[in-house]
């Protein structure tokens, strides 16, 4: 396989996965709207909490690096 055909195959795979994901979400929303909305809200809340925790951990590790490097 040449490089361009590998790139094309990768793009087709990514687009197929995205289309399958979108179809699954629409199907779930159509057949189970309340359960899907609750699950979506839970996932988005978990991602928000994870992002907030990651920011706090990142700030703590940056503070540790600033205080420890100047003593000889």
Residues 25-56: pLDDT tens digits?
Answer: 999 999 999 999 999 999 999 999 999 999 98
Q: pLDDT at position 58, please? A: 84
- Tell me the Cα Rg of the chain: 22
- Cα(first)–Cα(last) distance of the chain, in Å? 57
Distance in angstroms (rounded) separating the CA atoms of residues 31 and 5: 38
Distance in angstroms (rounded) separating the CA atoms of residues 26 and 14: 18
pTM over 0.75: no
Give yes or no for a contact between 63 and 56, defined as CB atoms under 8 angstroms apart. Answer: no
Q: pLDDT at position 34, please? A: 96
Distance in angstroms (rounded) separating the CA atoms of residues 47 and 42: 9
pLDDT band at 61 (very low <50, low <70, confident <90, very high): confident
């Amino acid at each position: 396989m040449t490089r361009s055909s590998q790139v094309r195959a990768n793009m087709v795979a990514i687009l197929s996965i995205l289309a399958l994901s979108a179809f699954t979400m629409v199907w779930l929303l159509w057949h189970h709207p309340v359960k899907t909305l609750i699950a979506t809200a839970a996932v988005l809340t978990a991602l928000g909490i994870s992002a907030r925790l990651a920011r706090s951990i990142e700030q703590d590790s940056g503070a540790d690096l600033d205080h420890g490097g100047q003593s000889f």
